[in-house]
Amino acid sequence: MKPLVKPFVPSRLEPLLFAFLLSGLMSFFVTGIATALHFGADFAMNPWIEVWLPSWPAAFIAALVATPLVRRLLKFVVIPMG
């Protein structure tokens, strides 16, 4: 099966790209849920985008800071293979 897009990001940037995409998706869903809970039936996209866009950079920084800590913590709870 042929890939849709030819890879173009150097592997050394994979951790940054991972944090960027993960933080974007997570902040998108979390702000969407919070906005829907706040506005209820009057939910609209405009307030959602207004809170999501500034929250994404904060989530990106949090992902960059938290990732090494989470990896270290996982070494205490995950049984190594082999």
Q: How confident is the model over 46-82, as pLDDT tens digits?
A: 888 999 999 999 999 999 999 999 999 999 999 988 8
Instruction: Let me know if residue 69 belongs to a domain.
Output: yes
What is the extent of the structural domain holding 28? 20-37+47-73
| Ordered DSSP codes for 19-64 | HHHHHHHHHHHHHHHHHHHHHGGG--HHHHHHHHHHHHHHHHHHHH
Q: 18-46 pLDDT, tens per residue?
A: 999 999 999 999 999 998 888 887 777 88
Residue pair 21/63 in contact (Cβ under 8 Å)? The answer is no
Instruction: Let me know if residue 53 belongs to a domain.
Output: yes
Residue listed under structure tokens 């995409």 = 21
pLDDT in the model for residue 1: 80
Residue pair 48/32 in contact (Cβ under 8 Å)? The answer is yes
pLDDT in the model for residue 44: 74
Q: How many domains does the chain have?
A: 1
